[in-house]
Amino acid sequence: MPRAERERQMLDAAVRVFGERGYRAASMDEIAELAGVSKPLVYLYLNSKEELFTACIRREAQALVAAVRAGVRTDVAADRQLWDGLTAFFAHTAEHPDGWAVLHSQARSGGEPFVAEVGVARDEIVAFVTALIAEAAGEAHQDPVRAEREVAGLAQAVVGAAEALAGWANTDPSVSAREAATTMMNFAWSGLGNLMAGRRWSVPS
């Protein structure tokens, strides 16, 4: 069996085990067994537990970012872009719960190297959202030089809210990606105040 395919198998198994157990509690034995190979082969291809986990983080992060990017067309309005991105995000996390667990829960509790690794991907998403907000602000011809810091905070809040909703949606399988994205847009775009006043958001045509 060619090396590339074996490596994919190993990463699949590793993502699953790391996602379920966490970095420390996962054992290389279990990963190797789930991948259907011997432990030494895992070491031959991926060098160490740390590198294996890093490789998992990297692969899952890139897949998630790619999925979001693929879901967004840049030639539409900002709210539509945000809605498309959120839909893609919720769909991807729902389809890859272990990958999402690795990124969201496990990588963050594993200490420096992993936090940094997952931070890179998160920053990419945050940058995407930041650009959207800035663009929307431009569209609205409002205060074009909004303080970077405020926009950064808002982007963090958007991403955090989306992450929380992803966890919520993954817990309750009856929640679809569309519903999660709609809730998110209602929350983020309209604001609770508007919602309370009866003004809700809907997908722009």
Residues within the interface to a second copy (CB under 8 A): 21-25, 79, 105-106, 108-111, 133, 136-137, 139-140, 142-143, 150, 152-154, 156-165, 167-168, 175, 179-180, 183-184, 186-198, 201
Nearest by Cα to 93 from 19, 185, 17: 19
In the bound state with DNA, the residue whose beta carbon lies nearer, of 41 and 161, is 41
Question: Helix (H, G, I), strand (E, B), or coil: what is residue 43?
Answer: helix
- Cβ atoms of 22 and 106 within 8 Å: the answer is yes
In the bound state with a second copy, the residue whose beta carbon lies nearer, of 7 and 135, is 135
Cα Dmax for the chain: 62
In the chain, what are the helix, strand and coil shares in percent, each to the nearest 5? 80, 0, 20
Binding-site partner at residue 41 among DNA, a second copy, none, CB < 5 to 8 Å by type: DNA
Looking at this protein, which amino acid is placed at residue 23?
Answer: Y
Binding-site partner at residue 49 among a second copy, DNA, none, CB < 5 to 8 Å by type: DNA
Nearest by Cα to 162 from 147, 183, 140: 183
In the bound state with a second copy, the residue whose beta carbon lies nearer, of 197 and 203, is 197
Binding mask 84-123 for DNA (x = CB under 7 A): ----------------------------------------
Q: Does 26 bind DNA (CB under 7 A)?
A: yes
- Cβ atoms of 88 and 70 within 8 Å: the answer is yes
Q: Does 37 bind DNA (CB under 7 A)?
A: yes
In the bound state with DNA, the residue whose beta carbon lies nearer, of 1 and 145, is 1
* Residue entry with tokens 């609770």: 192
- Both structure tokens of 146: 């909004």
Query: Where along the sequence are the contacts to DNA (CB under 7 A)?
Result: 1-3, 6, 26-29, 37-41, 43-44, 47-50
